[in-house]
Structure 1
Amino acid sequence: MSEITRVLKTFIGYLKRPDLYPELGRKIIKNTVNRGNAFKGKEKTHSWAAGKAVSQKEAVSKLFGREIDAFRTDYAEVLQTAAQKEKDCPVKMGGPGALELLYYACEFADAKNVVETGVAYGWSSLASLLSLAKRDGTLYSSDMPYLAQDGDQYVGYVVPENLKKSWKLFRFADKESLPKIFADNAVFDVLHYDSDKSYNGRIWAYDELYKHLKKGGVFISDDIGDNSAYQDFCEKYSIETTVVEYEGKYIGVFVK
Protein backbone atom coordinates (compact mmCIF):
# COMPACT_ATOMS: atom_id res chain seq x y z
CA MET A 1 0.00 0.00 0.00
CA SER A 2 1.42 3.39 -1.01
CA GLU A 3 1.68 6.18 1.55
CA ILE A 4 -0.93 8.27 -0.30
CA THR A 5 -3.35 5.33 -0.33
CA ARG A 6 -2.73 4.68 3.36
CA VAL A 7 -3.35 8.31 4.33
CA LEU A 8 -6.48 8.52 2.19
CA LYS A 9 -7.85 5.28 3.57
CA THR A 10 -7.15 6.43 7.12
CA PHE A 11 -8.87 9.77 6.52
CA ILE A 12 -11.96 8.09 5.05
CA GLY A 13 -11.99 5.73 8.03
CA TYR A 14 -12.06 8.69 10.39
CA LEU A 15 -14.89 10.32 8.46
CA LYS A 16 -16.99 7.19 8.92
CA ARG A 17 -16.50 7.33 12.70
CA PRO A 18 -17.80 10.58 14.24
CA ASP A 19 -16.72 9.30 17.65
CA LEU A 20 -13.12 9.50 16.39
CA TYR A 21 -13.34 13.11 15.15
CA PRO A 22 -11.55 14.49 18.24
CA GLU A 23 -8.60 12.21 17.52
CA LEU A 24 -8.63 13.21 13.85
CA GLY A 25 -8.25 16.83 14.91
CA ARG A 26 -5.36 15.93 17.20
CA LYS A 27 -3.70 13.92 14.42
CA ILE A 28 -3.89 16.85 12.01
CA ILE A 29 -2.29 19.17 14.56
CA LYS A 30 0.35 16.58 15.48
CA ASN A 31 1.35 16.06 11.85
CA THR A 32 1.40 19.75 10.93
CA VAL A 33 1.89 22.28 13.73
CA ASN A 34 3.56 19.84 16.15
CA ARG A 35 5.38 17.71 13.63
CA GLY A 36 8.67 17.67 15.57
CA ASN A 37 6.94 16.83 18.84
CA ALA A 38 7.40 13.08 18.47
CA PHE A 39 11.17 13.34 18.89
CA LYS A 40 11.44 16.16 21.43
CA GLY A 41 14.45 15.56 23.67
CA LYS A 42 15.28 12.23 22.03
CA GLU A 43 19.05 12.63 22.07
CA LYS A 44 19.07 13.63 25.75
CA THR A 45 16.89 10.72 26.82
CA HIS A 46 18.63 8.15 24.65
CA SER A 47 21.88 8.85 26.49
CA TRP A 48 20.10 8.88 29.85
CA ALA A 49 18.37 5.56 29.17
CA ALA A 50 21.51 3.89 27.84
CA GLY A 51 23.37 4.85 31.00
CA LYS A 52 20.72 3.29 33.25
CA ALA A 53 19.75 0.25 31.19
CA VAL A 54 19.69 -3.29 32.54
CA SER A 55 18.38 -6.52 31.06
CA GLN A 56 14.82 -7.71 31.50
CA LYS A 57 16.11 -10.52 33.70
CA GLU A 58 17.96 -8.09 35.96
CA ALA A 59 14.97 -5.76 36.21
CA VAL A 60 12.53 -8.51 37.16
CA SER A 61 14.93 -9.83 39.77
CA LYS A 62 15.65 -6.38 41.22
CA LEU A 63 12.09 -5.03 41.28
CA PHE A 64 9.98 -8.13 41.76
CA GLY A 65 12.34 -10.67 43.30
CA ARG A 66 11.54 -13.24 40.62
CA GLU A 67 13.46 -15.27 38.07
CA ILE A 68 12.02 -15.11 34.56
CA ASP A 69 12.99 -18.52 33.17
CA ALA A 70 9.85 -20.34 34.30
CA PHE A 71 7.55 -18.17 32.18
CA ARG A 72 8.63 -19.64 28.84
CA THR A 73 8.44 -23.16 30.24
CA ASP A 74 5.13 -22.83 32.06
CA TYR A 75 3.38 -21.25 29.09
CA ALA A 76 5.29 -22.89 26.25
CA GLU A 77 2.19 -24.26 24.52
CA VAL A 78 0.23 -21.00 24.82
CA LEU A 79 3.16 -18.98 23.47
CA GLN A 80 3.77 -21.40 20.62
CA THR A 81 0.12 -21.24 19.58
CA ALA A 82 0.20 -17.44 19.77
CA ALA A 83 3.34 -17.28 17.63
CA GLN A 84 1.71 -19.45 14.99
CA LYS A 85 -1.39 -17.25 14.98
CA GLU A 86 0.77 -14.17 14.46
CA LYS A 87 2.57 -15.90 11.60
CA ASP A 88 -0.73 -16.81 9.95
CA CYS A 89 -2.30 -13.37 10.40
CA PRO A 90 -2.75 -11.51 7.08
CA VAL A 91 -2.27 -8.11 8.76
CA LYS A 92 1.11 -7.15 10.19
CA MET A 93 1.22 -5.35 13.52
CA GLY A 94 3.60 -5.07 16.48
CA GLY A 95 5.21 -8.27 17.73
CA PRO A 96 5.89 -9.49 21.26
CA GLY A 97 7.81 -7.28 23.64
CA ALA A 98 9.18 -7.92 27.11
CA LEU A 99 6.47 -10.38 28.09
CA GLU A 100 8.19 -11.57 31.24
CA LEU A 101 8.41 -8.02 32.57
CA LEU A 102 4.65 -7.61 32.23
CA TYR A 103 3.78 -11.03 33.58
CA TYR A 104 5.96 -10.74 36.67
CA ALA A 105 4.83 -7.16 37.28
CA CYS A 106 1.30 -8.54 37.56
CA GLU A 107 2.48 -11.37 39.79
CA PHE A 108 4.41 -8.99 42.04
CA ALA A 109 1.46 -6.61 42.38
CA ASP A 110 -0.98 -9.48 42.93
CA ALA A 111 -2.85 -7.72 40.16
CA LYS A 112 -6.61 -7.81 39.83
CA ASN A 113 -6.96 -4.71 37.64
CA VAL A 114 -4.51 -3.82 34.88
CA VAL A 115 -4.75 -1.10 32.24
CA GLU A 116 -2.78 -1.01 29.00
CA THR A 117 -2.70 1.34 26.03
CA GLY A 118 -1.91 -0.24 22.69
CA VAL A 119 -2.87 -3.81 21.81
CA ALA A 120 -2.00 -4.82 18.21
CA TYR A 121 -1.74 -8.64 18.12
CA GLY A 122 -2.26 -8.72 21.87
CA TRP A 123 1.07 -10.10 23.04
CA SER A 124 1.25 -7.77 26.03
CA SER A 125 -2.42 -8.42 26.70
CA LEU A 126 -1.69 -12.14 26.73
CA ALA A 127 1.12 -11.77 29.26
CA SER A 128 -1.07 -9.75 31.62
CA LEU A 129 -4.09 -12.01 31.19
CA LEU A 130 -2.09 -15.14 32.01
CA SER A 131 -1.42 -13.65 35.43
CA LEU A 132 -4.81 -12.01 35.92
CA ALA A 133 -6.62 -15.28 35.20
CA LYS A 134 -5.24 -16.70 38.45
CA ARG A 135 -7.14 -14.06 40.45
CA ASP A 136 -10.23 -13.54 38.29
CA GLY A 137 -8.80 -10.13 37.45
CA THR A 138 -9.59 -7.80 34.56
CA LEU A 139 -7.46 -6.24 31.84
CA TYR A 140 -8.66 -2.90 30.48
CA SER A 141 -7.16 -2.06 27.09
CA SER A 142 -7.23 1.08 24.97
CA ASP A 143 -6.50 0.68 21.28
CA MET A 144 -7.29 2.82 18.26
CA PRO A 145 -9.00 1.12 15.31
CA TYR A 146 -6.58 0.24 12.50
CA LEU A 147 -8.27 2.48 9.98
CA ALA A 148 -5.81 1.98 7.12
CA GLN A 149 -5.34 -1.77 7.35
CA ASP A 150 -8.77 -3.37 7.65
CA GLY A 151 -7.18 -5.03 10.65
CA ASP A 152 -9.72 -4.45 13.39
CA GLN A 153 -10.76 -8.09 13.53
CA TYR A 154 -7.15 -9.05 14.23
CA VAL A 155 -6.61 -6.81 17.26
CA GLY A 156 -5.80 -9.15 20.13
CA TYR A 157 -5.48 -12.01 17.65
CA VAL A 158 -3.04 -14.05 19.74
CA VAL A 159 -5.16 -13.94 22.91
CA PRO A 160 -6.87 -17.33 23.48
CA GLU A 161 -10.64 -17.35 23.72
CA ASN A 162 -10.59 -18.68 27.28
CA LEU A 163 -8.79 -15.52 28.48
CA LYS A 164 -11.05 -13.01 26.74
CA LYS A 165 -13.69 -13.19 29.47
CA SER A 166 -11.24 -11.24 31.64
CA TRP A 167 -10.66 -8.54 29.03
CA LYS A 168 -12.37 -5.22 28.34
CA LEU A 169 -11.24 -3.60 25.09
CA PHE A 170 -11.98 0.07 24.38
CA ARG A 171 -11.56 0.95 20.69
CA PHE A 172 -10.88 4.68 20.85
CA ALA A 173 -7.88 6.97 21.18
CA ASP A 174 -6.47 7.18 24.71
CA LYS A 175 -8.05 10.58 25.40
CA GLU A 176 -11.46 9.00 24.86
CA SER A 177 -10.74 5.47 26.12
CA LEU A 178 -9.01 6.27 29.40
CA PRO A 179 -11.84 8.35 30.92
CA LYS A 180 -14.23 5.51 30.05
CA ILE A 181 -11.89 2.98 31.64
CA PHE A 182 -11.41 5.06 34.79
CA ALA A 183 -15.18 5.45 35.09
CA ASP A 184 -15.43 1.66 35.11
CA ASN A 185 -12.53 1.14 37.52
CA ALA A 186 -10.60 3.87 39.32
CA VAL A 187 -7.52 2.16 40.77
CA PHE A 188 -5.08 -0.15 39.01
CA ASP A 189 -2.35 -2.50 40.12
CA VAL A 190 -0.30 -2.38 36.92
CA LEU A 191 -0.20 0.18 34.09
CA HIS A 192 1.38 -0.48 30.70
CA TYR A 193 1.75 2.34 28.18
CA ASP A 194 2.43 1.50 24.54
CA SER A 195 0.30 3.76 22.35
CA ASP A 196 0.67 7.41 21.26
CA LYS A 197 4.43 7.90 20.99
CA SER A 198 4.38 11.70 20.68
CA TYR A 199 5.81 13.80 23.51
CA ASN A 200 2.51 15.52 24.28
CA GLY A 201 0.54 12.29 24.01
CA ARG A 202 2.83 10.56 26.47
CA ILE A 203 2.94 13.41 28.98
CA TRP A 204 -0.86 13.63 29.06
CA ALA A 205 -1.31 9.88 29.43
CA TYR A 206 1.47 9.40 31.99
CA ASP A 207 -0.09 11.98 34.29
CA GLU A 208 -3.56 10.47 33.94
CA LEU A 209 -2.38 6.91 34.44
CA TYR A 210 -0.18 7.76 37.41
CA LYS A 211 -3.15 9.22 39.28
CA HIS A 212 -4.92 5.88 39.01
CA LEU A 213 -2.01 3.64 40.01
CA LYS A 214 -2.19 2.26 43.53
CA LYS A 215 0.67 2.70 45.96
CA GLY A 216 2.92 -0.30 45.37
CA GLY A 217 1.60 -0.70 41.83
CA VAL A 218 3.82 -1.06 38.77
CA PHE A 219 4.14 1.50 35.96
CA ILE A 220 5.60 0.32 32.63
CA SER A 221 6.16 2.34 29.46
CA ASP A 222 7.56 1.02 26.19
CA ASP A 223 9.84 2.88 23.76
CA ILE A 224 10.88 5.58 26.21
CA GLY A 225 13.86 6.51 24.04
CA ASP A 226 11.63 8.03 21.34
CA ASN A 227 11.58 11.37 23.16
CA SER A 228 12.15 12.79 26.64
CA ALA A 229 8.57 12.50 27.90
CA TYR A 230 9.24 9.58 30.23
CA GLN A 231 12.45 11.08 31.61
CA ASP A 232 10.74 14.44 32.15
CA PHE A 233 7.78 12.72 33.82
CA CYS A 234 10.04 10.81 36.21
CA GLU A 235 11.98 13.94 37.08
CA LYS A 236 8.76 15.88 37.66
CA TYR A 237 7.60 13.36 40.27
CA SER A 238 11.09 12.48 41.60
CA ILE A 239 10.63 8.88 40.49
CA GLU A 240 13.57 6.49 40.63
CA THR A 241 12.95 4.41 37.53
CA THR A 242 14.53 1.27 36.19
CA VAL A 243 15.29 1.21 32.46
CA VAL A 244 15.21 -2.08 30.58
CA GLU A 245 17.04 -2.53 27.29
CA TYR A 246 15.10 -4.94 25.11
CA GLU A 247 15.86 -5.64 21.46
CA GLY A 248 17.54 -2.28 20.98
CA LYS A 249 14.79 -0.23 22.61
CA TYR A 250 14.20 1.05 26.13
CA ILE A 251 11.38 0.33 28.55
CA GLY A 252 10.77 2.32 31.71
CA VAL A 253 9.45 0.59 34.83
CA PHE A 254 9.01 1.57 38.45
CA VAL A 255 7.04 0.64 41.54
CA LYS A 256 5.00 3.56 42.88
Structure 2
Amino acid sequence: MGEITRIFKTLIGYLKRPGLYPELGRKIIKNTVNRGNAFKGKDKTNSWAAQKAVSQKGAVFMLFGLDIEAFRSDYADVLKTAEQRERECPIKMGGPGALELLYYACEFTNAKHVVETGVAYGWSSLASLLSLSKRGGTLYSSDMPYLAQDGDQYVGCVVPQNLKTGWKLFRFADKESLPKIFAENAVFDVLHYDSDKSYNGRMWAYEVLYQHLKKGGVFISDDIGDNSAYQDFCEKNNIETRVIGYEGKYIGVFVK
Protein backbone atom coordinates (compact mmCIF):
# COMPACT_ATOMS: atom_id res chain seq x y z
CA MET A 1 0.00 0.00 0.00
CA GLY A 2 1.42 3.38 -1.00
CA GLU A 3 1.88 6.08 1.61
CA ILE A 4 -0.67 8.43 0.01
CA THR A 5 -3.24 5.63 -0.24
CA ARG A 6 -2.64 4.64 3.38
CA ILE A 7 -3.10 8.23 4.60
CA PHE A 8 -6.25 8.65 2.52
CA LYS A 9 -7.80 5.39 3.78
CA THR A 10 -6.95 6.32 7.36
CA LEU A 11 -8.58 9.75 7.01
CA ILE A 12 -11.73 8.25 5.50
CA GLY A 13 -11.80 5.71 8.32
CA TYR A 14 -11.69 8.48 10.91
CA LEU A 15 -14.38 10.50 9.16
CA LYS A 16 -16.74 7.50 9.14
CA ARG A 17 -16.47 7.13 12.94
CA PRO A 18 -17.52 10.15 15.01
CA GLY A 19 -16.24 8.45 18.15
CA LEU A 20 -12.72 8.80 16.78
CA TYR A 21 -12.92 12.52 15.92
CA PRO A 22 -11.11 13.59 19.13
CA GLU A 23 -8.21 11.30 18.27
CA LEU A 24 -8.10 12.64 14.70
CA GLY A 25 -7.61 16.14 16.12
CA ARG A 26 -4.84 14.90 18.40
CA LYS A 27 -3.14 13.09 15.49
CA ILE A 28 -3.07 16.25 13.41
CA ILE A 29 -1.49 18.22 16.26
CA LYS A 30 0.98 15.42 17.06
CA ASN A 31 2.14 15.19 13.45
CA THR A 32 2.47 18.95 12.98
CA VAL A 33 2.92 21.13 16.07
CA ASN A 34 4.32 18.40 18.39
CA ARG A 35 6.15 16.32 15.81
CA GLY A 36 9.52 16.89 17.46
CA ASN A 37 8.38 15.41 20.78
CA ALA A 38 7.92 11.86 19.48
CA PHE A 39 11.56 10.87 20.07
CA LYS A 40 12.37 13.26 22.91
CA GLY A 41 15.28 11.94 25.01
CA LYS A 42 15.69 8.77 22.94
CA ASP A 43 19.49 8.63 23.10
CA LYS A 44 19.52 9.27 26.85
CA THR A 45 17.06 6.49 27.56
CA ASN A 46 18.67 3.95 25.26
CA SER A 47 21.96 4.44 27.08
CA TRP A 48 20.19 4.14 30.46
CA ALA A 49 18.22 1.07 29.38
CA ALA A 50 21.28 -0.70 27.96
CA GLN A 51 23.04 -0.39 31.32
CA LYS A 52 20.07 -1.78 33.23
CA ALA A 53 18.86 -4.45 30.80
CA VAL A 54 18.46 -8.07 31.85
CA SER A 55 16.80 -11.03 30.15
CA GLN A 56 13.07 -11.72 30.40
CA LYS A 57 13.87 -14.88 32.38
CA GLY A 58 16.08 -12.92 34.80
CA ALA A 59 13.55 -10.13 35.32
CA VAL A 60 10.66 -12.53 36.00
CA PHE A 61 12.74 -14.37 38.59
CA MET A 62 14.03 -11.19 40.25
CA LEU A 63 10.62 -9.53 40.44
CA PHE A 64 8.27 -12.48 40.92
CA GLY A 65 10.48 -15.34 42.08
CA LEU A 66 9.11 -17.47 39.23
CA ASP A 67 10.70 -19.56 36.47
CA ILE A 68 9.36 -19.01 32.96
CA GLU A 69 10.43 -22.37 31.49
CA ALA A 70 7.08 -24.16 31.88
CA PHE A 71 5.06 -21.64 29.87
CA ARG A 72 6.00 -22.79 26.37
CA SER A 73 5.43 -26.47 27.15
CA ASP A 74 2.25 -25.98 29.21
CA TYR A 75 0.61 -23.98 26.42
CA ALA A 76 2.33 -25.53 23.40
CA ASP A 77 -0.91 -26.39 21.62
CA VAL A 78 -2.49 -22.99 22.27
CA LEU A 79 0.60 -21.17 21.02
CA LYS A 80 0.87 -23.38 17.93
CA THR A 81 -2.73 -22.62 17.00
CA ALA A 82 -2.17 -18.90 17.63
CA GLU A 83 0.89 -18.91 15.35
CA GLN A 84 -1.17 -20.53 12.61
CA ARG A 85 -3.89 -17.88 12.99
CA GLU A 86 -1.28 -15.13 12.69
CA ARG A 87 0.12 -16.68 9.51
CA GLU A 88 -3.37 -16.85 8.02
CA CYS A 89 -4.15 -13.22 8.86
CA PRO A 90 -4.19 -11.13 5.64
CA ILE A 91 -2.89 -7.96 7.30
CA LYS A 92 0.35 -7.28 9.16
CA MET A 93 0.26 -6.23 12.80
CA GLY A 94 2.57 -6.38 15.83
CA GLY A 95 4.31 -9.62 16.87
CA PRO A 96 4.13 -11.68 20.06
CA GLY A 97 6.36 -9.74 22.48
CA ALA A 98 7.36 -10.96 25.95
CA LEU A 99 4.49 -13.36 26.62
CA GLU A 100 6.05 -14.97 29.66
CA LEU A 101 6.45 -11.61 31.38
CA LEU A 102 2.75 -10.87 31.03
CA TYR A 103 1.62 -14.35 32.01
CA TYR A 104 3.77 -14.52 35.13
CA ALA A 105 2.91 -10.96 36.15
CA CYS A 106 -0.69 -12.17 36.29
CA GLU A 107 0.31 -15.32 38.16
CA PHE A 108 2.40 -13.35 40.66
CA THR A 109 -0.45 -10.98 41.50
CA ASN A 110 -3.20 -13.63 41.31
CA ALA A 111 -4.72 -11.16 38.88
CA LYS A 112 -8.44 -10.80 38.42
CA HIS A 113 -8.38 -7.43 36.65
CA VAL A 114 -5.85 -6.48 33.97
CA VAL A 115 -5.79 -3.47 31.63
CA GLU A 116 -3.79 -3.26 28.42
CA THR A 117 -3.42 -0.65 25.70
CA GLY A 118 -2.75 -1.98 22.22
CA VAL A 119 -3.96 -5.37 20.99
CA ALA A 120 -3.01 -6.06 17.32
CA TYR A 121 -3.06 -9.85 16.79
CA GLY A 122 -3.79 -10.26 20.49
CA TRP A 123 -0.62 -12.01 21.67
CA SER A 124 -0.36 -10.03 24.89
CA SER A 125 -4.10 -10.45 25.37
CA LEU A 126 -3.69 -14.21 25.01
CA ALA A 127 -0.90 -14.37 27.60
CA SER A 128 -2.94 -12.43 30.16
CA LEU A 129 -6.15 -14.34 29.47
CA LEU A 130 -4.46 -17.71 29.93
CA SER A 131 -3.74 -16.70 33.52
CA LEU A 132 -6.94 -14.74 34.17
CA SER A 133 -9.12 -17.64 33.03
CA LYS A 134 -7.94 -19.68 36.01
CA ARG A 135 -9.59 -17.18 38.38
CA GLY A 136 -12.52 -15.98 36.31
CA GLY A 137 -10.79 -12.63 35.81
CA THR A 138 -11.28 -9.97 33.16
CA LEU A 139 -8.94 -8.32 30.68
CA TYR A 140 -9.87 -4.77 29.63
CA SER A 141 -8.20 -3.72 26.37
CA SER A 142 -7.97 -0.36 24.62
CA ASP A 143 -7.22 -0.58 20.91
CA MET A 144 -7.59 1.80 17.99
CA PRO A 145 -9.12 0.30 14.84
CA TYR A 146 -6.70 -0.45 11.99
CA LEU A 147 -8.26 2.15 9.75
CA ALA A 148 -5.86 1.97 6.80
CA GLN A 149 -6.06 -1.81 6.47
CA ASP A 150 -9.75 -2.51 7.09
CA GLY A 151 -8.37 -4.67 9.86
CA ASP A 152 -10.96 -4.39 12.63
CA GLN A 153 -12.14 -7.97 12.21
CA TYR A 154 -8.62 -9.32 12.69
CA VAL A 155 -7.73 -7.53 15.93
CA GLY A 156 -7.23 -10.19 18.60
CA CYS A 157 -7.39 -12.99 16.03
CA VAL A 158 -4.97 -15.27 17.92
CA VAL A 159 -7.20 -15.33 21.03
CA PRO A 160 -9.27 -18.56 21.10
CA GLN A 161 -13.02 -18.30 21.48
CA ASN A 162 -13.08 -20.00 24.88
CA LEU A 163 -11.01 -17.17 26.40
CA LYS A 164 -13.05 -14.29 24.98
CA THR A 165 -15.71 -14.50 27.72
CA GLY A 166 -13.20 -12.83 30.05
CA TRP A 167 -12.24 -10.09 27.59
CA LYS A 168 -13.66 -6.60 27.11
CA LEU A 169 -12.32 -4.72 24.09
CA PHE A 170 -12.80 -0.94 23.80
CA ARG A 171 -12.31 0.27 20.23
CA PHE A 172 -11.25 3.87 20.76
CA ALA A 173 -8.04 5.81 21.42
CA ASP A 174 -6.74 5.57 24.99
CA LYS A 175 -8.08 8.98 25.98
CA GLU A 176 -11.59 7.76 25.22
CA SER A 177 -11.19 4.07 26.10
CA LEU A 178 -9.50 4.39 29.49
CA PRO A 179 -12.20 6.51 31.17
CA LYS A 180 -14.78 3.96 29.95
CA ILE A 181 -12.66 1.12 31.35
CA PHE A 182 -12.14 2.83 34.71
CA ALA A 183 -15.88 3.42 34.96
CA GLU A 184 -16.32 -0.36 34.89
CA ASN A 185 -13.37 -1.23 37.14
CA ALA A 186 -11.20 1.18 39.11
CA VAL A 187 -8.28 -0.91 40.43
CA PHE A 188 -6.07 -3.28 38.45
CA ASP A 189 -3.57 -5.99 39.33
CA VAL A 190 -1.50 -5.69 36.15
CA LEU A 191 -1.29 -3.04 33.46
CA HIS A 192 0.44 -3.32 30.11
CA TYR A 193 1.11 -0.27 27.94
CA ASP A 194 1.72 -0.78 24.21
CA SER A 195 -0.16 1.92 22.30
CA ASP A 196 0.67 5.59 21.56
CA LYS A 197 4.47 5.67 21.32
CA SER A 198 4.85 9.48 21.44
CA TYR A 199 6.45 11.14 24.46
CA ASN A 200 3.35 13.17 25.34
CA GLY A 201 1.02 10.23 24.78
CA ARG A 202 3.04 8.00 27.06
CA MET A 203 3.38 10.56 29.86
CA TRP A 204 -0.37 11.14 29.93
CA ALA A 205 -1.18 7.43 29.92
CA TYR A 206 1.48 6.42 32.46
CA GLU A 207 0.16 8.89 35.03
CA VAL A 208 -3.47 7.84 34.54
CA LEU A 209 -2.76 4.12 34.56
CA TYR A 210 -0.46 4.30 37.58
CA GLN A 211 -3.25 5.84 39.65
CA HIS A 212 -5.42 2.78 38.95
CA LEU A 213 -2.75 0.16 39.71
CA LYS A 214 -3.04 -1.48 43.12
CA LYS A 215 -0.13 -1.53 45.53
CA GLY A 216 1.77 -4.70 44.73
CA GLY A 217 0.49 -4.60 41.16
CA VAL A 218 2.73 -4.89 38.10
CA PHE A 219 3.33 -2.08 35.58
CA ILE A 220 4.69 -3.08 32.15
CA SER A 221 5.53 -0.82 29.20
CA ASP A 222 6.82 -1.98 25.82
CA ASP A 223 9.28 -0.13 23.56
CA ILE A 224 10.56 2.24 26.24
CA GLY A 225 13.58 3.11 24.08
CA ASP A 226 11.46 5.14 21.64
CA ASN A 227 11.86 8.22 23.86
CA SER A 228 12.58 9.07 27.50
CA ALA A 229 8.97 9.09 28.74
CA TYR A 230 9.28 5.87 30.77
CA GLN A 231 12.60 6.83 32.31
CA ASP A 232 11.33 10.33 33.14
CA PHE A 233 8.13 8.92 34.65
CA CYS A 234 10.05 6.50 36.87
CA GLU A 235 12.53 9.15 38.01
CA LYS A 236 9.73 11.65 38.72
CA ASN A 237 7.91 9.12 40.91
CA ASN A 238 11.04 7.60 42.52
CA ILE A 239 10.27 4.20 41.01
CA GLU A 240 12.95 1.52 40.88
CA THR A 241 12.32 -0.29 37.62
CA ARG A 242 13.71 -3.31 35.85
CA VAL A 243 14.52 -3.13 32.15
CA ILE A 244 14.28 -6.16 29.88
CA GLY A 245 16.24 -6.39 26.67
CA TYR A 246 14.02 -8.26 24.22
CA GLU A 247 14.48 -8.71 20.46
CA GLY A 248 16.51 -5.51 20.11
CA LYS A 249 14.09 -3.37 22.13
CA TYR A 250 13.52 -2.53 25.79
CA ILE A 251 10.60 -3.27 28.09
CA GLY A 252 10.11 -1.53 31.43
CA VAL A 253 8.54 -3.36 34.38
CA PHE A 254 8.14 -2.70 38.08
CA VAL A 255 6.03 -3.74 41.07
CA LYS A 256 4.17 -0.81 42.65
TM-score if structure 2 supplies the norm length?
1.00
Q: What is the root-mean-square deviation in Å for CA atoms of aligned residues?
A: 0.3
Structure 1 stretches lacking a partner, 5+ long: none
Q: Please give the residue correspondences for 1:109-128 in structure 2 after superposition, counting only pairs within 5 Å.
A: 109-128=109-128
Question: Match of 1:139?
Answer: 139
Deviations 1:182-235 (A, max 9, x none): 000000000000000000000000000000000000000000000000000000
1:21 aligns to what SS in structure 2?
Answer: helix
Alignment partners' CA distance in 2, 1:18 and 1:30: 19
Letter in 1 for 2:203: I
- TM superposition outliers: structure 1 runs of 4+ over 4 Å: none
Aligned pairs (5 A) from 1:238-249 = 238-249=238-249
Using the TM superposition, give the Cα deviation of residue 74 of structure 1 relative to its aligned residue in structure 2, in angstroms.
Answer: 0.2
CA deviation digits over 1:130-157, x for unaligned, max 9? 0000000000000001100010000000
Alignment-derived partner of residue 227 in structure 1 = 227
- For 2:45, the equivalent position in structure 1 comes to 45
| Distance apart, 1:37 and its partner CA | 1.3
Residue aligned with 2:149, SS: coil
Which residues of structure 2 form unaligned runs of 5+?
Answer: none
1:81 maps to amino acid: T
SS of the residue 2:140 aligns to: strand
Aligned partner of 1:27 in structure 2 is 27
- Which residue is 1:171 aligned to? 171
Amino acid across the alignment from 2:127: A
Match of 2:206? 206
In the alignment of these two chains, the number of paired residues is: 256
Q: Name the counterpart of 2:160.
A: 160
1: distance between equivalents of 2:79 and 2:37? Answer: 36
Aligned partners of 1:216 and 1:35: how far apart in 2? 36
- The aligned counterpart of 1:185 is 185
* Deviation (angstroms), 1:38: 1.1
1:31-54 per-position Cα deviation (integer Å, ceiling 9, x unaligned): 011111110000000000000000
Deviations along 1:95-123, one digit per CA (max 9) or x if unpaired, are 10000000000000100000000000000
CA distance in 2, matches of 1:14, 1:154: 18
Q: How is 1:80-119 mapped onto 2 (pairs within 5 angstroms)? A: 80-119=80-119
Q: Give the secondary structure class of the aligned counterpart of 1:59.
A: helix
Partner Cα separation in structure 2 for residue 171 and residue 18 of structure 1: 12
Cα-to-partner distance string for 1:6-25 (whole Å, 9 max, x where unaligned): 00100011111111110000
What is the rounded CA distance, in whole Å, between the counterparts of 2:189 and 2:99 in structure 1?
A: 17
> Counterpart amino acid of 1:34?
N
2:24 aligned counterpart, secondary structure: helix
Alpha-carbon distance in structure 1 between the residues aligned to 2:155 and 2:164: 12
User: Does structure 1 residue 75 correspond to structure 2 residue 75?
Assistant: yes
Q: CA deviation at 1:26?
A: 0.2
- The DSSP-based 3-state class of the residue aligned with 2:145 is coil
Q: Paired residue for 2:218?
A: 218
Residue 3 (structure 2) pairs with residue 10 (structure 1)? no
Counterparts of 1:18 and 1:132, CA distance in 2: 33
- Tell me what 1:65 maps to: 65
